[in-house]
Amino acid sequence: MPPVVPEIPRAVVSVPVTVPLPAQSPEAVRSRTSVPLELELIHPGEGAVLAGRNLEFRWSPVARSLFYEVRLMTAEGALIWEERAETNDIRVPRTVRLEAGKKYYVSVLAYLPDGKTVKSKTVGFETR
């Protein structure tokens, strides 16, 4: 009978494997990354002089927004009017009266499904 040779335990070695990624164009990479969320007030522009009646505000739409909140304030920061909008534009009701020659500010806030918000820059304008 041949001699019994004890079995030697083998060491388990794990070697990391690097799989090369396929070459991608900058456009493909950009489309996979998250797009920065920006909200820009389109109308009125900063420093615009507008009629105090029939005011309309327009802004760039924000992807995935549930709704927008529009705020109109005096130069002193007092809130004059606030309204919720489902689209990216809104008219100020005729009941809101703005004084000629005064400066006002408007800002828009977009509400997203994940509970985050995106805010526009506050834009100042005057009425005539």
Q: Which residue blocks in the chain are alpha helix, DSSP H?
A: 26-32
Is residue 59 within 8 A of residue 42, CB to CB? The reply is yes
Please report, as a single letter, which amino acid is at residue 27: E
Q: What is the pLDDT of residues 39-81, one digit of tens each?
A: 999 999 999 999 988 899 999 999 999 999 999 999 999 999 9
The C-alpha atoms of residue 80 and residue 24 are separated, in whole angstroms, by: 51
- The topology under which CATH files domain 35-127 is Immunoglobulin-like (2.60.40)
The C-alpha atoms of residue 89 and residue 91 are separated, in whole angstroms, by: 7
pTM exceeds 0.75 for this model: no
Host H or E run for residue 81: strand 79-85
